[in-house]
Chain A
Amino acid sequence: MMGLETHPGFGSPPREEMESLALSDTPSDYRSAMSSSLSAAAADGGDPLLSPPGPLSGASSSSFLDPPSYADVVFSPLDGQNGAAPDRPSPCRGISFPRSDRAAASEYARIAVSDPQKEQDAVNALVPGGGAYFTYLITSRTRAGGVEFRVRRRFRDVVTLADRLAEAYRGFFIPPRPDKNVVESQVMQKHEFVEQRRSALEKYLWKLGVHPVIGKSDELRVFLQAPGKLPLPTSTDMASRMLDGAVRLPKQLFGEGPAGYVTPQDAVQPAKGGRDLLRIFKELKQSVTNDWGGAKPPVVEEDKEFLERKYKMQDLEQQLSTASKQAEALVKAQQDIGETMGELGLAFIKLNKFENDEAVYISQRVRAADAKRVATAAVKASRLYRELNAQTVKHLDILHEYLGLMLAVHSAFSDRASALLTVQTLMSDLSSLHTRIEKLEVASSKIFGGDRSRMRKVEELKETIRVTEDAKCCALREYERIKENNRSELERLDRERHDDFLSMLKGFVKNQAGYAEKLANVWAAVAEETSGYA
């Protein structure tokens, strides 16, 4: 983490401009601490970790050298060339990503979100305050092509993208999209909110781009590259779905032929609220049957390994949540101590000025000089704490990220559960159909010469069975597919998490060690200068 050791000019000459110490605007919570700390670190322009550590630790300094890719990405405030700077408000800058190896293999070289602009929705313009929304400029470049694409999208488009991906990539751990904010249009226009959203969008798109499967998806490509209106089917709202479902329900109830049953195309989708009312009822009934352990469902989740992993995931989520909370508390404590150190420094600056102004005796001037030494050191220390914190936030943010990812895991697992439920429902449908045919055949055989209407019914049912069998095969295939997605994603998650956590721990520890060393040097100098009093 102490890479680029020979970077010149990093002894960080003491900054005597106490006035530039911005003590009043430090934020009180974690998230804003993150963004302001990052910009503070960027504004200071200096990373004291890059200077060679003092003579005390000279021997071990070589162990701090990181492979260049890592150091590059983490210490970007200096080096503007690799284009990876953290959250700078300037446009057309991509985001840095600590997992540079994975980034190097991804589909996209760069995805940036910038330039929010307010636009008016023609339809709702009559409603006062309503109808205004923001669009964002999205710039991207694939690794292969090298051509830059620019499109304008609004948040609703992002929701559409997320929904389409969720449908198409069941079983995958799809990065969760930024929240919709159901707030009044007044709040919607505040600059801070827009900036937060811009930043969140950028992170989200990048995460999609870096996913080994989703990064290559058409949906993402179309989102990033298709000009004009987003050519993805929009998520239908509840109302029209209800209408749609209301039209289909009679057919489903009266079982008019194949239209009344689940078609193979439908079998590969989960039942949608409003539209597949009958299917939902059936699947609900099935799940109740499963729960109450009536007839054992024909296919069960018997993948023990999966179940084990599922429990592990739950455990992991629990611990991530706690760790994430404690990380926030730690960040706050570091911020507080830095602030107080700064205030202490200021108090001694004032004392120094006062004693110098009012000095009658030499001893006062000596004391004033001592006070100034301590004040300077305290202000330096305060800055160091702020920088330490900015770095800490970057490292520990991985905890928050993985916590967010747990949502995706839940989704993927529930995709699997619902696919299984569909299979089970179809199988029990089939079995009841067979039973009905049997009953009809028995009844018909009792009538001499056959029962024409009953036989006709049997033929219809046999047709339905055929369709349902197909549907069941599709559903089963889908279920297996999702199972496989789950499995490969779990493996990927374990692998990536292992690497990410390792680099988090490493980064955190090196960060703490590095800054502690710097602090020690600052204070050792003052201790030396005041040693005459001991």
Chain B
Amino acid sequence: MISPQRSPPGSSSQSPRSPSAPPFLSVTVTDPVKLGNGVQAYISYRVITKTNLPEYQGPEKIVIRRYSDFVWLHDRLAEKYKGIFIPPLPEKSAVEKFRFSAEFIEMRRQALDIFINRIASHPQLKQSEDLRTFLQEDEETMERARFQETGIFKKKPADLIQIFKDVQSKVSDVVLGKEKPVEESNPEYEKLKHYIFELEDHLAEAQKQAYRLVKRHRELGQSLSDFGKAIKLLGACEGDSIGKVFSDLGSKSELLSIKLQKENDRNQLVMQAHNLLMNFEEPLKDYVRAVQSIKATMVDRANAFRQQCELAETTKLKEINLDKLMLMRSEKAMEAEIEYKELKAESEEATRRFETIVKLMSEEMVRFQEQKTADLGLAFHEFAKGQAKLANEIADAWRSLIPKIDACSPSLCS
């Protein structure tokens, strides 16, 4: 798991441009600022790039980007690097009210930071021109690039034709009675598909429970606080030293914090709830998104496979036709040969594309499994650490009360 804040070792001691320095590319997404008014308000982020790579304009570059810019980058990469599991983006928020809450903004910032760093450390993706554009171009250029990509103009003309062909072949399939779409019959791949789909379910369940756990922490914090208040009031009915004990217990209950010096001491449980959200629930959600990204790649693979099959078939037909024409010594043979050669090239291209996807996918799966083990391992660690810290603080807080209670002996102090 790339830790976005850490710079690679040894980078500070050498001059960034010296050829002997190991190449590095480190990006930070930081400093969210709300811009614009009313309905058009949005959050902008500062993206700081530090690198020694020659393709980049300098050792450090800072640009301002917004969420839609990240979406642009994601979509471009998804277009160009079929077969690679593009790192997932955090969701667009549907609920208006929530869009500018501090917690949401922080979660998104963290997710975007992780996103960009994953791209920057991926062997193929980091060489992408679009990444360079994203990291270096000024805001106007970025905006222009973004607008060009919207809507159906996103797709290149060749792709449009392809879509047409897909529709055509679908129709013909139906006409010819071939309703089932063409699919790979690779048992290993079947197993993988099955695995991915079921994995998503398991992860979604875990994420749901993690989210619920966050809520429970908040609720427990609230109820302890309320209980503390009630105990204090009850203590006011009692006199003197036992009343003081009540009061102390009540205060402890409310705060469960000893060391905070800010004006608003925050309840430890509420703080842990936030920690849980950022460092445990969010990574689980990220895992789910990653799985969904794999599913998107699977769709690409299926499309590529189908294209390959169709083109192969069409090419074959064309070949048969060509042979026929040549046999007949027809004038159309020349034309047909050219068409055939073109189609053959396309077919080979489609086959190449498909095979690339297959190869990439298998490499990506290894990477994915390893990365997820590390990611989840870290999330588990943070979770356990957080729970242990919270429990220790709670134990300390309550323990500190015991001598006070003991000092108040039965029926003697009142």
Contacts and interface: CB of A to CB of B under 8 A. Distances in A.
A300 interface: no
Contacts of A187: none
A485 interface: no
Interface string B77-97: 000000000000000000000
Nearest to B229: A326
B134 interface: no
Contact of B209 (A322, A325, A340): A340
Interface string A361-400: 1011011001101100100010000000000000000000
Interface stretch (B108-116, B166-174, B214-222, B344-352): B214-222
A154 interface: no
A505 B230 contact: no
Given A370-B376, A502-B245, A319 B387 contact: no
A329 B227 CA distance: 8
A280 interface: no
B269 to A, nearest CB: 9
B2 to A, nearest CB: 13
A92 to B, nearest CB: 32
A516 B219 contact: no
Contacts of A513: 394-395, 398-399, 402
Interface string A492-509: 001101110111011011
A360 B210 CA distance: 27
Contact of A347 (B209, B223, B234): B209
Chain B contact residues (Cβ within 8 angstroms of A): what range? 35 or more
Contacts of A323: 227, 230-231, 233-234
Contacts of A320: 234
B405 A337 contact: no
B237 A312 contact: yes
B246 A333 contact: no
A519 interface: yes
A374 B384 contact: yes
A371 B203 CA distance: 11
B408 interface: yes
Contacts of B332: none
A427 interface: no
B176 to A, nearest CB: 37
B278 interface: no
Given A505-B249, A531-B381, A363 B370 contact: yes
B401 interface: yes
A530 B395 contact: no
A350 interface: yes
Contact of A367 (B210, B233, B373, B395): B373
Interface string A315-327: 1100110110111
A530 B216 contact: no
A102 B370 CA distance: 65
A506 B384 contact: no
A534 B408 CA distance: 46
Interface in B371-395: 372-374, 376-378, 380-381, 383-385, 387-388, 391-392, 394-395
Given A323-B233, A370-B377, A494-B414, A347 B216 contact: no
Interface in B208-261: 208-210, 212-213, 216-217, 219-220, 222-224, 226-227, 229-231, 233-234, 236-238, 242, 245-246, 249
A266 interface: no
Interface stretch (A455-463, A474-482, A521-529): A521-529
B378 A316 contact: no
B202 A351 contact: yes
A319 B388 contact: no
Contact of B385 (A56, A312, A506, A527): A527
B398 A322 contact: no
B381 A347 contact: no
A498 B414 contact: yes
A453 interface: no
A347 B410 contact: no
Contact of B380 (A370, A506, A512): A370
A377 B384 contact: yes
A334 interface: yes
Contact of B405 (A509, A516, A520, A526): A509
Contacts of B385: 523, 527
B219 A336 contact: yes
A281 interface: no
Most buried by A among B220, B226, B374, B399: B399
Contact of B402 (A350, A361, A506): A506
A509 B246 CA distance: 11
Nearest to A315: B237
Contacts of A373: 380
B223 A57 contact: no
Contacts of B198: 354, 358
A501 B242 contact: yes
A366 B373 contact: yes
A348 interface: yes
Contact of A351 (B206, B231, B377, B401): B206
B327 interface: no
A63 B407 CA distance: 12
Contact of B410 (A337, A344, A502): A502
A332 B41 CA distance: 41
A526 B209 contact: no
B411 interface: yes
A43 B76 CA distance: 60
A330 interface: yes
Given A533-B378, A534-B378, A337 B220 contact: yes
Interface of B: 1, 191, 195, 198-199, 202-203, 205-206, 208-210, 212-213, 216-217, 219-220, 222-224, 226-227, 229-231, 233-234, 236-238, 242, 245-246, 249, 365-366, 369-370, 372-374, 376-378, 380-381, 383-385, 387-388, 391-392, 394-395, 398-399, 401-403, 405-406, 408, 410-411, 414
Please name the 7 residue pairs, one residue from A and one from B, whose CB atoms are nearest each other, closest first: A520-B391, A533-B377, A516-B395, A526-B384, A513-B398, A523-B388, A530-B381
12 contacts: A57-B395, A330-B224, A334-B220, A344-B213, A361-B366, A361-B369, A370-B377, A502-B405, A509-B405, A523-B385, A524-B384, A533-B374
Given A363-B373, A505-B249, 16 more contacts: A319-B236, A323-B234, A326-B226, A326-B230, A333-B219, A344-B209, A354-B202, A361-B366, A503-B410, A513-B402, A519-B391, A520-B391, A523-B384, A527-B385, A530-B378, A533-B1
